[in-house]
Amino acid sequence: MPSEQRLKTIRIPVHGFVDLSRGERKIVDSRPFQRLRKIQQLSLTSMVYPGATHSRFEHSLGVLYLATQTYQAIVRNSPELQVKWSPARQKRNEQILRIYALTHDLGHGPFSHLSDQLFPEEGTFSHTHETFSARIVEETEIGQSIDEIGENLAQEYGEEAFFSHQTLVHLITNQLSEEDPSLYLLHQIMDSELDIDKMDYLLRDSLHCGVAYGNFDLRRLIDSLVAVRQKDNSGEYFFLAIEQRGIYALEAFIMARYWMFIQVYFHKTRRIFDHYLQNFLSSILPQGKLPFSIEEYLSWHDIRVWYELEKSAYKSSDQGHLWASLITERKVWKQVNKEKPCSFSSEQQMQFFQALQKKLGEHFSSHQYFLDYARKSPHKLNQTYANNKDIFLLTPNGERREITQVSQIVASLIEPIQTLRLYASPEIFAEVEKISQEIMG
């Protein structure tokens, strides 16, 4: 706990007791945060794994717990950072990271990532759950609560410890500046290839699904993290690295993510129910999009959608009746092709996908079949991409090495996880199967 005396302890699965300060409790008790109780972490995965009914509320508290554990380990393992950051700066950054953990998922729509395609657009700009998280911080009482925490911290530790809700807005939207270089490290801890968000959801999703695929050595992984100083023309920064003693824990973490995508997140039945629900939401939302107004947006959550589903399922004239009935009666369209993840090359996947899409569109309504193409990289370590998310291994003599040069396991998982599945309603299944076989040769 960085400053205020502990006021509240909440017990959650995976980590046990999570402490909250007085200011943090105000955030948790707010309407926007309480709404996360009504947002399931894994959409309709409970149609496959009945225990997967956990919420973004629980996950956000789990990430809060890991924020303190991880931050303190990094500071403890990083003598240069201890010298560069004053005690006031250290307290400030720990508190910012804890609030970042609490607020990072505020903007999720109903059923979490299932709603990602339903956010409104402004001209050419498409909103995301991150931009809505930032707007919720700015436009609700949460912003004022954050300002109060920053002001109280400045009174206790001096002006250097001050921050405002705008600091969190910049972190959530990744709009960082050279004026506050310490935020780069905080952003990496929350959003990188080795972040506390992934650490929590892998363990939590694995527990609630009743599978072992998401398990890894959390304590060893956290205790091996370190901040490395880096200089360039724009200034001096600290970035995340992992000590060599943590390489096996890192490998287990990467493998856990790999297996969870194959066995849970890309599960064939979960994907078809996501398709049903996306179509249902598009049919009942104005213009097929979630509302732009934050006040209206906060009224959309899983419970409201389930109410709408039940209504439409028993009213055949409703536009969303087909999708509602498929969900409420758990009718699963059969999969035409039985290909497993990684069975095609990327080029073969796309050729087959495009040919199928063209042929099926000529013969059937899009409400009769679903052509699902899913793709996800197991990791992006030591690959070229922006936002300073890359993480290196630090040897005992201080040498920085690319993790893919040290770990054969990590190096071997470069190719993305890919699935291409074709589902068809019962009345056209035989015809679709025949077309699919003709195209495949």
| Residues designated catalytic | 129
Spell out where 185-262 has E strands.
225-232, 235-243
Q: CA-to-CA distance for 168 and 153, rounded, in angstroms?
A: 15
Q: Report the distance separating Cα 170 and Cα 338, nearest Å.
A: 45
Which residues are CB-neighbours of 381 under 8 A, at least 6 positions away? 193, 254, 390, 391, 402, 403, 404, 410
DSSP codes of every residue in 106-154: TT--TTGGGGGGG--EETTEEP-HHHHHHHHHHHSHHHHHHHHHHHHHH
Of the candidates 263, 285, 239, the one whose C-alpha atom is nearest the C-alpha of residue 387 is 239
Measured in residues, the chain has a length of: 441
d(CA 126, CA 120): 6
CA-CA distance, 435 to 441, in Å (whole number)? 10
CA 208 to CA 91: how far, in whole Å?
A: 34
Task: Retrieve residue 267's tokens.
Answer: 């599960």
Greatest pairwise CA separation for the chain in angstroms: 73
Residue for token pair 């006021």:
7
Helix (H, G, I), strand (E, B) or coil at 9: strand
Q: Which amino acid is at 343?
A: S
Distance CA(305)–CA(296), nearest Å, equals 14
Q: Specify whether the CB–CB gap between 176 and 183 falls below 8 A.
A: yes
Helix, strand, coil share of the chain (percent; to 5): 55, 15, 30
